[in-house]
Amino acid sequence: MATLDAKIPKGPIAEKWTNHKNNINLVSPANKRLIDVIVVGTGLAGGSAAATLAELGYNVKAFCFQDSPRRAHSIAAQGGINAAKNYQGDGDSVHRLFYDTVKGGDYRSREANVHRLAEVSTNIIDQCVAQGVPFARDYGGLLDNRSFGGVLVSRTFYAKGQTGQQLLLGAYSAMNRQIGRGKIKMHSRHEMLDLVKVDGKARGIITRNLVTGEIERHAAHAVVIASGGYGNLFYLSTNAMGSNVTAGWKIHKQGAHFANPCFTQIHPTCIPVSGDHQSKLTLMSESLRNDGRIWVPKKKEDAKAIRDGQLKPTDLAEEDRDYYLERRYPAFGNLVPRDVASRAAKERCDEGYGVNKTGEAVFLDFAAAIERYGKEKAHVKGLDENDKVLVEKLGKQVVKAKYGNLFQMYEKIVDQNPYETPMMIYPAVHYTMGGVWVDYNLMTTVPGCFAIGEANFSDHGANRLGASALMQGLADGYFVLPYTIGDYLADDIRTGPISTASPEFEEAEQRVQAQIDAFINNKGTKTVDYFHRKLGKIIWNKCGMSRNETALKEAMAEVKALREEFYKDVFVPGTADSFNEPLAKALRVADFLELGELFAKDALVRTESCGGHFREESQTPEGEALRDDDNFTFVSAWEYKGEPSDAKLHKEALNYENIELKTRSYK
Amino acid sequence: MKLTLKIWRQENATAKGSMQTYSLDGVSPDMSFLEMMDVLNEQLMSQGIDPVAFDHDCREGICGSCSMFINGEAHGPDRLVTTCQLHMRKFKDGDTIHIEPFRAQPFPVIKDLVVDRSAFDRIQHAGGFVSVNTSGNTQDANAIPIEKADADKAFGAATCIGCGACVATCKNASAMLFVSAKVSQYALLPQGQVEATDRVLNMVKQMDDEGFGNCTNTGACEVECPKGISLENIARMNREYLSANVKG
Amino acid sequence: MGVTLSSTILRKVAMALSGIFLMVFLLQHFVINITSVFSATIFNQFSHFMGTNPVVQFLLQPVLIFGVVFHFVMGFVLDIKNKRARGTRYVVYKGSANASWVSRNMIISGATVLAFLALHFYDFWVPEMNYKYVEVLPEDPSRYYEELVHKFEDLTRVVLYVVSFFFLALHLSHGFSSAFQSMGFNNKYTPAVKSFGKLYAVGIPLGFAFIAIFHFLNH
């Protein structure tokens, strides 16, 4: 095993980032004009990075597989974005955000990165407001905040349940300004299919034009991967249908280490699976846990009656309900971190207390919130607080103003009115903390190849706190990468334009072409979705919310076997030189089929429980996750060696100099 | 449920398209419309027929990718939803469903139900932004209080997902609702006002250059908009545009 | 037309302005005509004034004609452009699901009104021009009422007029509030504008129809 150097700057934690910025190499404005940067992905991280790099003067080529950068999946983030502004005066600070994030990540993230994230969080809010992002405001005209899981302050800025959309459109608008100026060349409906290295450095990518099928070569002095997470490994997830690991996996195969692949966030509040036809899962924002109370019936017979439709949840008496999060974790109650809430829901359902037909759902109830808000509103308006009908009406108005779009979405999907009957929710795959390994400068182990946002691994450890993904994406894109990339590019000011005629480009293009031809000519019998669905089932059942050695070993073998079957028997209709979605999917699923095996291997090696990674072999007598700090306070970074099972483990030791490692308790 | 589907098939941008009829059995009312299309495509592929191409991504009504014209309406018969959130319970067993791409001269068909909506992007390039650099030392976010009513209206306009239902629905293929949503968002916020004149002039010019039709105030766009963007925004843009012309 | 109206919004504003101008004219026209129901003398006095006053004849009349011509030419221009903006037509298009028939068919109601205008000009304006400027007959301040009454003796004409007024009502019922929206007027007063517009759209054509039927029945 080898160790990795993250190149964390020396000095006290609060000064590292400032000192680093003062000391890294810069590229002069005149020279930036001579340098090209490729950005793959146009979500919060990629979009903001592309815009900022272009503003600084670099020539940016941006790529996305969607038909417009505005459709990147960051758009679907609902709840909010954290920032240590302390506008509420409730004792928040950079240090507290830093501390909460490290603790929330179950002490498996890199201190220096997280502190930097907390530092720049406040700049993000200033920047977004200046761009015209319409955050929610209070009646005084100032920005409003709400609270999210795992923290004791209100530091989450939001725009109803569409915060991700508003922030992404902000980044998109910044991009548009640069596209209008000609500083960003936007390539929509393009998928990156390989990384090109020249003399060991990342110098370009190979893409496929998803409309014409044309294979294209694009050269640059540096390549930034901002392609998001790999939650679709599970087939069913809250990710968009097109979200994929291909860009990240291709650079992995070219030498970028892949870190902590098994660290996956299973989000506790998603709409439960309704049937086999299901193509994706829908998240109900964590912000709902501010006001919703989670419960299942206390008695199994009541749960059964509800499942069979003989009993309505609203008819169940208060004393017959088990508000299990409030019971188990009195300090944080319904606002425990996501991993804790998800496992608790699974535990209740596994015990037979599930409340929907499949027995895999718990209630999220707003009746108490409606009453509380209604009384408050009645009081403010000088109306009768004891008038039940009035209170309910007023309360519903307040809830609608806060979560209207989420309630509407729920009603459309489930066909039940959540104002009248409690929502049913169940955990679902939502986010991947693992990703491409990067150093403090966000550079991967391939020189000149960077990874930002969800695509990298660095800031969330083994579990991400709510409203931190948007923060990290924008921090990386607006405020970190555009500066740290200069440190690398300072050596490239004399390089001149990179040619796409080199043998390296030729070879990469041929690799891609060969893979495409193989799929088109395979003429198998099973569709791509068949394999993807099967892969998802293996990973969900054996590497999901709780994992053990036997199941993980089985998963590795099964994924390997499935991959072999895939190459033998997959059927891809149509031609290579046309709009061909099954082909695009096949190329993505091929990479998931490799990642899946590494995922299980990573989970197998880490015999401790931490954050979203729960090993049944490592738990306390009460069933809480048990970390093993002596043996696992490190990042697992895997080096590609051909077969995923042969991947070589590199360790980056995590040193906690500012935060004491403690057992995470939300009791 | 058993359905008869009449779907626009067109091999590529230059090919001539036509409506094709398929019948599909075993559709569950709990399926979303796109999941029904997935099932159809699995069936077509098993019969050796090229699957129907359609745009989709988030499948939760926010990315704006999906874009079908179903039974004569953008995103189908339900209100305030995109096609991905339309569920089959809105249809009956034995129904015939017509599925066409969003039609507009500026939205050329790429394949089947997939259209090119990059005209929308170009309109945004023309002025859909506030010119502020990423410096990290802009004014504190709370330095300028904004009246809640204005902030809420700006948010209401900003929720546009750029799906193009307004264009597809409008009998004139007008993009006024889309453009006015962006113009309004910035017109309502102090941050957007500095460039308000140039923004509205440039965006409207680009909109016209793309070949979208005129707004004749039928109000169809507002009804079919999955995000319920209000016609007030169009009036606001008209005002902004007139005053920009007087100034400019 | 002198001013270049290249932008879609300016074109629509011009449509709105010319529309509002025509609606003001319509109101004035109605006010004069309704007097014929009460008093032949007052009607003759008004008509004589309008027919002989040089400001009306040589300034307002050309402006009005320009307004009418502009409104319908632009109406057709916009309609052609709008049809072209669609490109390939839908096989199934359910316009009724999201917009009123009237708002979608302004070109039909407008064209009907235009056809009526031709008839109306043939009935009154052409003989009037002929009387005054071609044959230059001696002025008779009391001839107007008789001419009016004479026209409405014919049932076919009355029916044609009433049908046309119906289409005018349709046209106005969308046109009135639409004009305000086009000019950027949409605020808390909009519901009031809409209600007034409906009242105007029904009231004026109904009034005109009443005048026509009144004279038919009374003579």
| Domains of chain C listed by start with CATH number | 8-85+102-218 (1.20.1300.10)
- Number of helical H runs and strand E runs in chain B: 9, 7
User: Which residue from A633, A634, A666, A664 is spatially nearest to A649, judged by alpha carbons?
Assistant: A634
Mutation choice for C interface testing from B238, B242, B245, B246 by most C CBs within 10 A: B238
Cross-chain Cβ contact A479/B58 below 8 Å? no
Cross-chain Cβ contact C78/B224 below 8 Å? no
Cα–Cα distance measured from residue B158 to residue B128, given in angstroms and rounded to the nearest whole number? 11
B228 touches chain C (CB under 8 A): no
Cross-chain Cβ contact B50/A574 below 8 Å? yes
Q: Which of B100, B232, B242 sits opposite C90 (nearest CB)?
A: B100
B102 touches chain C (CB under 8 A): no
β-strands A201-209, A184-187 pairing:
unpaired
Cross-chain Cβ contact B103/C86 below 8 Å? yes
Two structure tokens written together for A285: 């924002």
Closest CA of chain C from B220, distance in Å: 5
Closest CA of chain B from A471, distance in Å: 14
Beta bridge partners of B101: B68
Q: For A240, which residue in chain B has the nearest alpha carbon? A: B58
Judging contact as 3 or more Cβ pairs under 8 Å, the answer for A and C is no
Cross-chain Cβ contact A141/B62 below 8 Å? no
Q: What is the pLDDT of residue C204?
A: 97
Two structure tokens written together for A335: 């606002």
Beta bridge partners of A202: A197
Cα–Cα distance measured from residue B221 to residue B179, given in angstroms and rounded to the nearest whole number? 12
Residues of B in contact with A155 (CB under 8 A): none
B236 touches chain C (CB under 8 A): yes
- Counting one residue from chain B and one from chain C, the pairs whose CB atoms sit within 8 A come to 145
What is the ipTM score, two decimals?
0.98
Q: What is the pLDDT of residue A84?
A: 97
Judge contact between A511 and B167, C-beta under 8 A. no
Distances (CA, A) of A443 to A7, A55, A147, A439: 10, 21, 33, 5
* Percent with pLDDT over 70 in chain A: 100
Q: Which of B73, B213, B224 sits opposite C85 (nearest CB)?
A: B213
Whether residue C26 is predicted with pLDDT greater than 90 in this model: the reply is yes
Whether residue C72 is predicted with pLDDT greater than 90 in this model: the reply is yes
Q: What is the pLDDT of residue C115?
A: 96
Give me the residues of A, 549-578, that contact B with CB < 8 A: 571, 573-574, 578
> b vs e for A631-659, b when ≥16 Cβ sit within 10 Å of the residue's Cβ?
ebbbbbbbbbeeebeebeebebebeeebb
Cα–Cα distance measured from residue A594 to residue A564, given in angstroms and rounded to the nearest whole number? 10
Closest CA of chain B from C72, distance in Å: 14
pLDDT tens string B30-88: 999 999 999 999 999 999 999 999 999 999 999 999 999 999 999 999 999 999 999 99
Judge contact between A638 and A647, C-beta under 8 A. yes
Question: Per DSSP, which regions of A233-352 are E strands?
Answer: 258-259, 264-270, 293-297, 321-322
Judge contact between B103 and C87, C-beta under 8 A. yes
Cross-chain Cβ contact B129/A123 below 8 Å? no
pLDDT tens string C172-205: 999 999 999 999 999 999 999 999 999 999 999 9
- Half-sphere exposure for C134 (CA within 13 Å, toward CB): 7
Give me the residues of C, 156-215, that contact B with CB < 8 A: 174, 177-178, 181-187
DSSP A443: B
Residue whose pair of structure tokens reads 């370009």 in the numeric block: A204
User: Per-residue pLDDT averaged across A23-42, rounded?
Assistant: 97
When pLDDT is cut at 50, 70 and 90, the band that residue C2 belongs to is very low
DSSP B46: H
Judge contact between C114 and C171, C-beta under 8 A. no
pLDDT tens string A89-132: 999 999 999 999 999 999 999 999 999 999 999 999 999 999 99
Listed in sequence order, the DSSP H helices in C39-105 are: 40-52, 54-55, 61-86, 101-104
Q: Specify the length of chain A in residues.
A: 667
pLDDT tens string B88-146: 999 999 999 999 999 999 999 999 999 999 999 999 999 999 999 998 778 999 999 99
Which of the following is catalytic: A338, A343, A464, A615? A338
Closest CA of chain B from A404, distance in Å: 12
Cα–Cα distance measured from residue A249 to residue A252, given in angstroms and rounded to the nearest whole number? 5
β-strands A36-40, A156-157 pairing:
unpaired
Give me the residues of A, 232-291, that contact B with CB < 8 A: 238, 240-242, 274-275, 277-280, 282-283
Q: Which of C85, C88, C103 sits opposite B211 (nearest CB)?
A: C85
Q: Tell me how many degrees the CA angle A475-A480-A485 measures, rounded to the nearest 5.
A: 145
Cross-chain Cβ contact B56/A275 below 8 Å? no
> Is there a catalytic annotation at residue A71?
no
- Domains assigned to chain B: 3-111 (3.10.20.30), 118-247 (1.10.1060.10)
DSSP A402: H
Cα–Cα distance measured from residue A10 to residue A20, given in angstroms and rounded to the nearest whole number? 9
| Coil vs helix vs strand at A80 | coil
- Half-sphere exposure for B166 (CA within 13 Å, toward CB): 31
Burial of C168 (0-12, 13-18, 19+ CB in 10 A): buried
Cross-chain Cβ contact C85/B236 below 8 Å? no
Q: For A580, which residue in chain B has the nearest alpha carbon? A: B53
B81 touches chain A (CB under 8 A): yes
Cross-chain Cβ contact C85/B205 below 8 Å? no
- Please tell me the pTM assigned to this model: 0.96
Whether residue A545 is predicted with pLDDT greater than 80 in this model: the reply is yes
When pLDDT is cut at 50, 70 and 90, the band that residue A581 belongs to is very high
* Percent with pLDDT over 70 in chain C: 98
Judge contact between A497 and A61, C-beta under 8 A. no
Cross-chain Cβ contact B121/A277 below 8 Å? no
Please give the single-letter amino acid code of residue C84: R
Residue whose pair of structure tokens reads 């410096």 in the numeric block: B135
Two structure tokens written together for C35: 């007097």
pLDDT tens string C132-156: 899 998 888 889 999 999 999 999 9
Cα–Cα distance measured from residue B170 to residue A535, given in angstroms and rounded to the nearest whole number? 43
Name every residue whose Cβ is closer than 8 Å to that of residue C125 and which is 6 or more positions away in sequence.
none
Handedness of CA A611, A616, A622, A627 (dihedral sign): negative
Judge contact between A247 and A192, C-beta under 8 A. yes
B93 touches chain A (CB under 8 A): no
Give me the residues of B, 6-45, that contact C with CB < 8 A: 6, 8, 19
Whether residue C104 is predicted with pLDDT greater than 80 in this model: the reply is yes
Residue A2: phi and psi, rounded to 5, are -110, 160
Mutation choice for A interface testing from B33, B39, B62, B225 by most A CBs within 10 A: B62
Please give the single-letter amino acid code of residue A22: N
The rounded mean pLDDT for chain B is 96
Residues of A in contact with B189 (CB under 8 A): 132, 134
Closest CA of chain C from B12, distance in Å: 15
User: Per-residue pLDDT averaged across A513-524, rounded?
Assistant: 97
Beta bridge partners of B44: none
- Domains assigned to chain A: 268-429 (3.90.700.10), 520-627 (1.20.58.100)
Q: Specify the length of chain C in residues.
A: 219
Closest CA of chain A from B219, distance in Å: 22
Q: How close are the terminal C-alpha atoms of chain A, in Å?
A: 38
Mutation choice for C interface testing from B172, B201, B210 by most C CBs within 10 A: B172
Give me the residues of A, 316-375, that contact B with CB < 8 A: none
Distances (CA, A) of A376 to A144, A145, A371, A380: 18, 19, 9, 6
Cross-chain Cβ contact B72/C97 below 8 Å? yes
Closest CA of chain C from B243, distance in Å: 10
When pLDDT is cut at 50, 70 and 90, the band that residue A2 belongs to is low
Q: What is the DSSP string of A522-585?
A: H--SB-HHHHHHHHHHHHHHHHSSSB-HHHHHHHHHHHHHHHHHHHHHB---S-TTS--HHHHH
Please give the single-letter amino acid code of residue C189: Y
Whether residue A3 is predicted with pLDDT greater than 80 in this model: the reply is no
Beta bridge partners of B242: none
Q: What is the pLDDT of residue A429?
A: 96
C4 touches chain B (CB under 8 A): no
Judge contact between C183 and B238, C-beta under 8 A. yes
Handedness of CA A454, A598, A248, A446 (dihedral sign): positive
Cα–Cα distance measured from residue A401 to residue A287, given in angstroms and rounded to the nearest whole number? 13
User: Per-residue pLDDT averaged across A64-69, rounded?
Assistant: 98
Please give the single-letter amino acid code of residue B49: I
Closest CA of chain B from A617, distance in Å: 36
Please give the single-letter amino acid code of residue A289: R
Cβ atoms within 10 Å, residue A370: 23
β-strands A264-270, A423-432 pairing:
antiparallel
Cross-chain Cβ contact B215/C106 below 8 Å? no
Cross-chain Cβ contact B213/C86 below 8 Å? yes
Two structure tokens written together for B219: 């109000």
Judge contact between B238 and C189, C-beta under 8 A. no
Three-state helix/strand/coil letters over A26-71: CCCHHHHCCCEEEEECCCHHHHHHHHHHHHHCCEEEEECCCCCHHH
Cα–Cα distance measured from residue B98 to residue B110, given in angstroms and rounded to the nearest whole number? 19
Q: Which of A52, A126, A278 sits opposite B138 (nearest CB)?
A: A126
Residue A363: phi and psi, rounded to 5, are -90, 145
B202 touches chain C (CB under 8 A): no
Q: Which of C13, C84, C103 sits opposite B219 (nearest CB)?
A: C103
When pLDDT is cut at 50, 70 and 90, the band that residue C4 belongs to is low
When pLDDT is cut at 50, 70 and 90, the band that residue C1 belongs to is very low
Judging contact as 3 or more Cβ pairs under 8 Å, the answer for A and B is yes
Return the H-helix or E-strand segment holding A508. Answer: helix A503-522
| Coil vs helix vs strand at C67 | helix
Two structure tokens written together for C185: 């007027």
Two structure tokens written together for A414: 């489930």
β-strands A36-40, A59-63 pairing:
parallel
Closest CA of chain B from C73, distance in Å: 15
Cross-chain Cβ contact C106/B236 below 8 Å? no
Judge contact between A396 and A452, C-beta under 8 A. no
Two structure tokens written together for A465: 């706190």
B45 touches chain A (CB under 8 A): yes
- Cα pseudo-dihedral A168, A174, A178, A179, rounded to 10: 40
Whether residue C3 is predicted with pLDDT greater than 70 in this model: the reply is no
